[in-house]
Structure 1
């Protein structure tokens, strides 16, 4: 599996929508909503009281840099046999 990376040419001041961020990190929207509800994950912003959530590219990079993988895949020879 390829590591999640944000293209180097994206400006840190660029904005991503909630949906774009979820697609970028390959995580279901439901999971990211749960993170937000629990106060974990990246920091979000709304503009002019609008309903849409945004994240800056800089915040997405910060989040990816500090996020710890929740699962690891072991090579087949290390997996327990059933």
Structure 2
């Protein structure tokens, strides 16, 4: 499995769309939607008047670091 890499040059306050995040972590959209429905996974934002979901790069980094730490602990 490829390691998830979030480029260092991405600013923490920059935004990723739901679709971009799914591609970044190599996870099907259906799985990430299920995480959201169950209240697990990263925190999402929706702007008023816009139906799209966004995630800040900082939140994506936090999520990846947490998920990596959990999988390392299980090994």
TM-score bracket, shorter-length normalisation: 0.7 to 0.9
**Distance apart, 1:49 and its partner CA:** 3.8
In the alignment, what sits opposite 2:45? 45
What's the TM-score once normalised by structure 2's chain length?
A: 0.87
**Distance apart, 1:2 and its partner CA:** 2.5
In the alignment, what sits opposite 2:28? 28
**Distance apart, 1:50 and its partner CA:** 1.7
In the alignment, what sits opposite 1:4? 4
How many correspondences in the alignment? 70
CA-based RMSD of the aligned residues comes to 1.4
What's the TM-score once normalised by structure 1's chain length?
A: 0.80
- 4+ long deviations beyond 2 Å: none
In the aligned structure 1, how far is the partner of 2:58 from the partner of 2:48?
A: 21
Taking the TM superposition and a 5 Å limit, the aligned residue runs for 1:55-74 are 55-67=55-67, 68-69=70-71
Q: Which runs of 5+ in 1 are unaligned?
A: 70-82
In the aligned structure 1, how far is the partner of 2:55 from the partner of 2:49?
A: 15
Q: Give the number of the structure whose alpha-carbon radius of gyration is greater.
A: 1
